[in-house]
Homo-oligomer: A and B are copies of this chain.
Amino acid sequence: MSRRIRRTPYTDKVIHHGVRGFSVVNHMLLPKAFEPTVEDDYWHLREHVQLWDVSCQRQVEIKGPDAARLVQLMTPRDLRQARVGQGLYIPLIDDRAGMINDPVLLKLSEDRFWLSIADSDVLLWAKGLAIGMALDVEVDEPDVFPLAVQGPKATELMASLFGGGIRDLPYFGFALFDVLGTRQVIARSGYSKQGGYEIYLEGGHLGEDLWDLIWGAGQSLEIRPGCPNLIERIEGGLMSYGNEFTRANNPLECGFGPLCYLGDDLDYIGKKALMEIASSGGPMQRLSGVRFGGDVTPACVKPFPVTSPHGETLGQITSGIYSPRLECNIGLSMILKSHWDHDTPLIVHTPDGQAREGTVSGVPF
């Protein structure tokens, strides 16, 4: 730990709760595990409610007369109908249609947006474009520290604290709520498929009070501290920038095709490259699920090569783990077009030297 790898307003709390390690996302600490095993965390997340420090989901704020224009230039998703209060999952691409990030866009007003980002410095990308194009915008990282409440009991917990309006939020919708005497953005969102909310806390000095408020109210609901759970994330098909895809991948490969507008009446960076991919037969590979057998897989600290039964390279599992619910190993991999149909047999090569039989699966698993 150092100043460079930034603490969050909740770091002392998660240390107090016995966090077992941290990862680093956007130059900031992300708790990595609490319970003795990821499996314990997994079952708890599916049944109860957890409190997650996801401050590393930094906000890139873009505001000013040209803000809407800049945001649209950065994504192939058509934002012309976006409404204030709506959160939108948007791929960001470069001029070669390579993925830059996959943030959630929060439209705060007609001329003010937050990009809630995965692990790359979108601020520098947006600022570079804005300066290069002489756009009339300000690009900054505000003092906002998301805290997530995830799990099936999240709605009950959040409504008890912040009122019935919590129940009315549509998936990915957000609104302002009274929180500790301030007005704060709360969204129905989060990096799990168990349902939940994210409080975009503005003002780090309120962090510990907010943590304590939710923690106290959650006692009767068996609340625990948590963090994105690898089993649950893979089962849910939730991708992670830098793992499942990088700047070497285009959004069509990532399954973002439905989010890519290719009509004539909209322009954005990378559109030409994207049109070329689309018009020349589409992507050559696609992000897929893989079920595979054998013993419980070793940790996927290096990608696992995936081949056909005849030995042709098809892809690599970039996130993989044993699912105690599905009672098999599961992973996420780009798979070449020739083999991407569901149930296609393939072989997963794990670092313990095993060649494991598997099949292509849809996601969520």
Q: Are A242 and B127 in contact (CB under 8 A)?
A: no
Tell me whether B2 and A301 are in contact (CB under 8 A). yes
The A124-141 residues at the B interface (CB cut-off 8 A) are 124-133
Contact in complex: A1, B301 (CB < 8 Å): yes
A300 to B94, CA, bound (A): 38
Looking at the assembled complex, report how far the CB atom of A97 sits from the nearest CB atom of chain B, in whole angstroms.
Answer: 13
The interface residues of chain B lying within 8 Å CB-to-CB of A319 are: 2-3
Q: Which residues of B contact A128 (CB under 8 A)?
A: 124-132
Query: A127 with B303: in contact, given A5-B24, A27-B119 (CB under 8 Å)?
Result: no
CB within 8 Å for A95 and B27 given contacts A119-B4, A125-B125:
no
Report Cα–Cα, A241/B27, bound state, in Å. 11
Complex contacts, A1 vs chain B, CB 8 Å: 299, 301
Residues of B within 8 A of A299 (CB): 1
The 7 closest A-B pairs by CB, nearest first: A132-B132, A128-B128, A4-B242, A121-B121, A124-B125, A1-B301, A24-B24
- A122–B121 alpha-carbon span in the complex (Å): 9
Residue of chain B at shortest CB distance from A316: B3
Give chain B residues whose Cβ lies under 8 Å from the Cβ of A303. 3
Partner of A23, one of B5, B7, B119, B318: B5
A243 near B4: Cβ-Cβ < 8 Å: yes
Q: Does A68 lie at the interface of the complex (its beta carbon under 8 Å from any beta carbon of B)?
A: no
Q: Closest residue to A269 on the B side, CB-wise?
A: B131
Which of chain B's residues has its CB closest to A230's CB? B2
- From B4, B7, B119, B127, give the contact of A125 (CB < 8 A): B127
Q: Given the interface contacts A24-B24, A124-B122, does A3 sit within 8 Å of B243 by beta carbon?
A: yes
A242's partner among B27, B95, B132, B242 (CB-CB below 8 A) is: B27
State the Cβ distance, A196 to closest chain B Cβ, in Å. Answer: 23
- Could you tell me the dominant secondary structure of chain A's interface residues? loop
Residue of B nearest to A119 (CB): B4
A124, B95: Cβ atoms closer than 8 Å? no
Residues in B neighbouring A126, C-beta threshold 8 A: 128
Q: Is the CB of A240 within 8 A of B4?
A: yes
Complex Cα gap A319–B23 (Å): 21
CB contacts (< 8 Å) of A100 on chain B: these are 124
In Å, the complex CA distance between A3 and B24 comes to 13
Q: Does any Cβ of B come within 8 Å of A302's Cβ?
A: yes
Q: Is the CB–CB distance between A241 and B124 below 8 Å?
A: no
A242 and B24: CB pair below 8 A?
no
Question: A308 near B: Cβ within 8 Å?
Answer: no
> Interface readout for A100-131 with B: 1 if CB under 8 Å, 0 if not?
10000000000000000001111011111111
Q: Tell me how far the C-beta of A233 lies from the nearest C-beta in chain B, rounded to whole angstroms.
A: 11
- With both chains docked as a complex, state the minimum distance between the C-beta of A25 and any C-beta of chain B, in angstroms: 8
Q: Which residues of B contact A94 (CB under 8 A)?
A: 127, 131
Find chain B residues with CB under 8 A from A124 CB: 100, 120-122, 124-125, 128
